[in-house]
Structure 1
Amino acid sequence: MNTALPGPWGAALYETTIGHARRTPLSHAFTHRTYLWLVDLDHLPPVPAVLRPLARFRAKDHPGSHEMTLRQNLDTYLALAGVELEGGRVLMLTQARSLGHVFNPLTVYWCHDPAGRPVCVVAEVHNTYGGQHRYLLRPTADGWADADKEFYVSPFFPVDGRYRMRLPEPGARLDLTIRLERTDGPAFTATVRGVRRPAGARALLAAALRHPGATFAVSMHIRYQGIRLLLRGLPVQPRPDREKVDQP
């Protein structure tokens, strides 16, 4: 099996459009354009020193020990759940730290066994309060998986309901869907659509120029949309006193 991703760095960049559509208790929708990385946790892209301010992959930006690697932290999390990959490949879709900042509402890990067969998917969610949580998923052949909502994300939704996620492993195109279903029906849908570009110096510079301050823009856009909802009278739901933070 060929495990290398295309491109000089063995990684991919996806020019993405992220969509959010809220249905209840009021309708609200928007899209945001950015770029995401798909990397192999065992072969992180060899970004030259001069370009590292634009792309860093650090364990401290994700759950787990800061003294361990991204791969070690994920393996520890999976082992606690009774999952052993035995060295199989893990692909991570994420936004890299850029210009000293990163905020990843969603990071996805596609986990394989040594023969390349899919074992599970991990969806890692961060909120704007510094909390983080991982969902261990077992998607069906068509990429769908369900999980009870266990983590406070939007301040306008309580921690209830169930996620319906479609997270097929990316290829030439990226096509993810996450839908929140509550007792009164579908409440929220997020989509991530993108086209793959082989990662390298030129591709990174081009993406950074097309989306200047991309990591800051994500944080600012989330807060801007939150202010819009507040001004429309949407009430804030209380945040749990203790949020679940996954640490080994």
Structure 2
Amino acid sequence: MPSLVVGTVSHRRRTPMEHAFTHRHYQWLVDVDDLPRRRWPLSLLTRICARDHLDDGRLGGGIRGDLERFLARRGTTLAADDRIVMLTHARVLGHVFDPLTVYWCLAPDGGLRATVLEVHNTYGERHAYLLELDDRGRTRTDKQFYVSPFNDTRGTYDVRMHLDADRVAVTVALDRDGARVLTATTTGAIRQASRAAVVRTALRHLPMTWRVTALIRLHGVWLWARRLPIQPRSPHHQEDLR
């Protein structure tokens, strides 16, 4: 690490309207204590900043400091030699939008101490879920955060995660009233983040984070035009990230 995770993102909405897509996609897999440090102009494609995650690095210590405080308030203490592996988007040409960031907190022997799922919406809000994965990398957690204008905060997430030396996969499915509402999956192969690979991947996927933002809005307009009801939203309290 740092590495690229190159693959696809897919989304399938089942009710009250069918809608599905799959797009090419890439993210970064990084150690939060060893983030990419590339010179200009490559820095325009590789910057990962504390201000884009969790508590904005407000109290110091960068992303690791924010995550340590978040976990400590919930009864989990990280040791100094624990490693935090992060799946995320980097800023591309000054812009980032990161619908889903995952943190795996690993003990020196490779054991999993904690997993955190950070979700962002298009209203500039974010929320973090502390997950307790079983031996298969699965868990369920109540939805607490307004993400899509077409879903309120009711329901339960069924989460599946896979991380090994070659591949990353994260699936988040929303269940409500005994029915599956939607399923979102990001999956990809782990590749060395050489200078040539970063440039080649960025060119192939166009400005990635700009593209993510545009596609989310285009799919939203498609659903709105077909009269899928808009759900009311209440402002989210960022204290939940601290």
TM interval, short-chain normalised: over 0.9
**Offset from partner CA, 1:119-140 (integer Å, 9 cap, x none):** 1110000000011000000100
Q: Distance in 1 between matches of 2:165 and 2:143?
A: 28
TM-score calculated relative to the size of structure 2? 0.94
**Offset from partner CA, 1:211-244 (integer Å, 9 cap, x none):** 111110000000000000011110100002x313
1:20-99 equivalences under 5 Å are: 20-67=11-58, 68=60, 69-87=62-80, 88-99=82-93
Residues 1:148 and 2:139 are matched in the alignment: no
Gapped runs of 5+ residues in structure 1? 1-9
Kept after mapping to 1: 8 A contact 2:57/2:65: no
Q: Distance in 1 between matches of 2:170 and 2:86?
A: 14
Which residue type is aligned with residue 122 of structure 1?
V
SS in 2 for 1:139: coil
Distance 1:193 1:143, change over 3 A: same
Distance 1:51 1:120, change over 3 A: same
Kept after mapping to 1: 8 A contact 2:127/2:241: no
When structure 1 is superposed on structure 2, of 40-49 and 54-63 the one drifting more is: 40-49
- Aligned-CA RMSD value: 1.3
Which residue type is aligned with residue 232 of structure 2?
P
When structure 1 is superposed on structure 2, of 226-235 and 173-182 the one drifting more is: 173-182
Across the two proteins, how many residue pairs are aligned to each other? 238
How far apart are 1:170 and its partner, in Å? 4.1
SS in 2 for 1:70: helix
TM-score calculated relative to the size of structure 1? 0.92
Match of 1:136 in 2: 130
Residues 1:231 and 2:225 are matched in the alignment: yes
Q: Distance in 1 between matches of 2:35 and 2:163?
A: 18
Match of 1:4 in 2: none
Kept after mapping to 2: 8 A contact 1:65/1:247: no
Q: Distance in 1 between matches of 2:178 and 2:135?
A: 28
Gapped runs of 5+ residues in structure 2? none
When structure 1 is superposed on structure 2, of 26-35 and 131-140 the one drifting more is: 26-35
**Offset from partner CA, 1:5-64 (integer Å, 9 cap, x none):** xxxxx3110112100000010111011212100000111123233310111010111121
Aligned sequence identity (%): 44
Given candidates 177, 188, 192, the residue that maps to 1:194 is 188
When structure 1 is superposed on structure 2, of 127-136 and 191-200 the one drifting more is: 191-200
Distance 1:206 1:221, change over 3 A: same
